[in-house]
A and B are shown apart, each in its own frame.
Chain A
Amino acid sequence: MAQASARVVLISSLSRHYTDGTKEFEIEAKTLYDVIRALDQRYPGLGEHLEEETSVAIDGEIYEVAYFHALRPGCEIFFIPKIEGG
């Protein structure tokens, strides 16, 4: 699978805490793991936070964060609060 550029967006509370307010990133990645590693390299500790405390919407489809999710070129990735139901 070729590297593809993904648009990655963080919610405000994450960007305030980890990225000095930067919310949007363009990241070359084949899988969600690539995205998490790239963000963690830039902002140490963010990767663990994303893995444990967020869900991820990839082109609107909501998933638990998992390394294996493949990314299509130009996809939109939003790390969002994890939702629990009743």
Chain B
Amino acid sequence: MDAKTINPQEKTLKVVGTRPVRPDGVPKVTGLARYGADFALPGMLWGDILRSPHAHARIRSIDTAKARALPGVKAVITAADFPEQKYEFIGPERVAVNFWHMTRNIMAREKVLYEGHAVAAVAAINKAVASAALRLIEVDYEPLPHVIDVDAAMRPDAPLLFEDMITRGVEPAPDRPSNVSKRIEFKLGDPEAGFAAADEIVEMSFKTAPVHQGYIEPHGCLARFDAEGQGEIWASSQGHFVVRAYVARLLGMNIGDVLVHPAEIGGGFGGKTVIYVEPVAALLSRKTGHPVKIVMSREDVFKSTGPTSGSSMTVKIGVKRDGRIVAADGVFKFQAGAFPGSPVMNATMCGFAPYDIPNVRSVGYDVVSNRPKSAAYRAPGSPISAYAVESTMDAVAAKIGMDPLKFRLMNACKSGTQTAWGPKHAHDGCAETIKAVLDHPAYAAPLGKNQGRGVASGFWFNNGGESSATVHVTEDGSVAVATGSMDIGGSRASMAMMAAETLGVAYDQVRAIVADTASIGYTHVTGGSRVTFATGIAVVEACNKVIAELCTRAAMIWNVDRGEVVWEGGCARHTGQNAGKIEPLTLKAIAAKRAVTGGPIGAEASVNAGGAAPGFATELCDVEVDPETGSVKILRFIVAQDVGRAIHPSYVEGQLHGGVVQGIGWALNEEYIYDAAGHLLNAGFLDYRIPVASDLPMIEAVLVEVPNPNHPFGVKGAGEVNIVPSMAAVANAVNNAIGRRLTELPMSPPKVLAALDSGSKG
């Protein structure tokens, strides 16, 4: 552990690392913030979507005549109104987009593949008429057998969602179709030899329930078309440039003919990196010539939008008696939902990534089933495999009689450790987070009756990529920053802080906004914990261009060589023979002379940022289990995460809190419950129970700062890895509280009671 953990007290930065009042706070709590559902235009129609009552059925016919005849109905559309798309996977492995699939997810064609699958849509003068029109659409279905559970979907006799789907990644290719879309394998060393050399081997199997991201704001948008055929969309999303690209493709338009305005977002967690209602509203608008607004209900969100996968997993770990891991094997089977594309590849890559293991095999299966197509959810895939791996890690530690954190620390990866998927780790940070928990007084605190303590670690890649930013000096010397990154976690504040720090001005002199798709360069989604890193680099680069221009203007004002001017402390300073004799020029003073020195001062920077550096987290959870009810109470939770450097520590701590809360919900309560016909029974927050404040203690966030040398301020992504260890930490705590290992999530009270009654110890 050569890397220095920066002590926040030693920072010399003036703005970065401070905690100014968050600019988005007041608008959000006073109702001034405008979300996707808050936009309206004159002449606006309401759109609504008819959804499948069946989990799996062939569509024989759709008759919309009665709906179209209803007074007040302006348009009715089905999949036939969307252009057909070519069947091809486009783009990178994990997120390969197949528009043949996407257009069928937006509006079913030959078959409906899950309850809630859209089959038709209407635009009408108000919501009531739109709703009445939906009831007049006659769909003739041929119900088909369905399958939801991933193990059931992989059986040879399972009902097939696609009769011609041949598993990719298997050679020779299977001669029969199945629901297995893809097989993935990563291998390092010789796992068989590794296990043969092990003194102890633990093998365990696990299942996790599918869960939803649980964002509070349902999907909603407003779309309009102008006379020239340009579409305009106001939408809540994690990436308005992606909304623009997908809508343009699905409607057969040029990307430049779609303009998307970013609305405030009420949570996304990955689930708003894809589209649902946007192309439907846009098509209805194009057909009617009116603006059209569609807002999902909560039931729509649960039944029709992308949750993350349920899974079935088996993990085997072999160790020497001294605690060294010598081999690991994992088989991870993930529900993709109705179309291929679960995050199982990430799961296979991340599961064993925190550790230095010489022999690893990690296999993943992407399996379609009759559920909504899965969408990204906070470090997609990694929390699921971490639950299996970290639970097994605890069992291994117990078997060899070793402290579970010291066991993890002994095997922790560091810069130079070989990964199973190819390259070596380039950054430290894993051991530092383990040590932060190991050294925390809570780790040695006594526990009471029915109480248990669990720990777990996790890895997530963090992303960089394409981002754009502009920085303009206004007439009075204040600064306007615009980026293309949707602000989900406080990025307007962090962008303003990085700009203020770079320019050397006060934070309250800088105002940051999110610009629409026509006003700023392409910027990839707010996801993958990439914004503060990648868009932050763009902001700093734009600021540096502005500084160069400010120095040029100052040289002009002083009539000196440009090379004699430097920017220090928010001022242009003369360094030539008259250094110290010429008063520095402030940004405000230079802005006042902008016209006579060349006009407005501003710059844009677009980057494709790399070297994001991964995130590591280690967590501690104390629980108390009620033996009468099986209820699990979280007593204490500590999350130690390597964040590189926290620009606004309060926002970063908020990310850590949020990830842990979602992990606790995943561990204890959240699950999709289906009846025998494949109908979702708990499509609302009363029955799909995410944790609320009264369920939780104050979560302690420990910001470990191992700076990333690839970012001007050392930033590493902070939004995702916090959820990765959480389910395993809770599971290990429950195991230690009751002496029995539950191997299925959620560990709801009935399951805990059943485990207590079973008498078998894990």
Contacts and interface: CB of A to CB of B under 8 A. Distances in A.
Interface of A: 9, 11-13, 16, 52-55, 57, 59-64, 66, 69, 76, 78, 80-86
Nearest to A76: B423
B169 interface: yes
B377 A80 contact: no
A62 B378 contact: no
15 contacts: A53-B93, A59-B426, A60-B415, A60-B425, A61-B611, A61-B710, A63-B464, A66-B608, A83-B463, A85-B376, A85-B460, A85-B720, A86-B269, A86-B378, A86-B380
Interface residues of B, number: 51
Contacts of A57: 422-423, 426
Contacts of A55: 92
A53 to B, nearest CB: 5
Interface stretch (B524-532, B583-591, B744-752): B524-532
Contacts of A80: 421-423
Contacts of A66: 608, 610
B169 A13 contact: yes
A54 B93 CA distance: 7
A64 B95 CA distance: 14
Given A57-B422, A64-B464, A69-B610, A84 B376 contact: yes
B462 interface: yes
Nearest to A79: B422
B355 to A, nearest CB: 16
Contacts of A16: 171
Contacts of A81: 92-94, 345, 349, 421
B270 A86 contact: yes
B530 A60 contact: no
Given A11-B421, A63-B611, A76-B423, A82 B466 contact: no
Nearest to B269: A86
Given A62-B612, A64-B466, A83 B461 contact: yes
Interface string B255-298: 00000000000000111010000000000000000000000000
B376 A86 contact: yes
Given A64-B466, A64-B608, A66-B610, A82 B92 contact: yes
B396 to A, nearest CB: 27
A12 B185 contact: yes
Given A60-B423, A61-B710, A84 B527 contact: yes
Given A60-B415, A78-B422, A86-B273, 10 more contacts: A16-B171, A54-B92, A61-B610, A64-B610, A83-B461, A84-B95, A85-B270, A85-B527, A85-B529, A86-B377
Nearest to A63: B610
B346 interface: yes
Contacts of B466: 64
A62 B169 CA distance: 24
Interface string B340-382: 0000011001000000000000000000000000001111100
Contact of B528 (A9, A59, A84): A84
A2 to B, nearest CB: 23
A16 B185 CA distance: 13
Nearest to B709: A61
A16 B426 CA distance: 27
B36 to A, nearest CB: 19
Contacts of A78: 421-423
Contact of A83 (B91, B185, B346, B613): B346
A57 B377 CA distance: 24
Nearest to A83: B461
Interface string B503-530: 0000000000000000000000001111
Contacts of B380: 84-86
Contact of B426 (A61, A69, A86): A61
A23 B179 CA distance: 30
A59 B613 CA distance: 12
Contacts of B529: 85
Q: Which of A12, A57, A86 has the most C-beta atoms of chain B within 10 angstroms of its own C-beta? A: A86
A16 B183 CA distance: 14
Contacts of B422: 9, 11, 57, 78, 80
B270 A62 contact: no
B477 interface: no
Nearest to A53: B92
Contacts of A85: 270, 376, 379-380, 460-463, 527-530, 717, 719-720
A48 to B, nearest CB: 12
B177 interface: no
Contacts of B345: 81
Contacts of A13: 169
Contact of A84 (B92, B416, B610): B92
B465 interface: yes
Given A53-B91, A53-B92, A85-B376, A62 B611 contact: yes
B4 interface: no
Contacts of B273: 84, 86
Top 3 closest pairs, chain A to chain B, by CB: A85-B528, A86-B270, A63-B610
A78 to B, nearest CB: 4
A57 B719 CA distance: 22
Interface in B74-109: 91-96
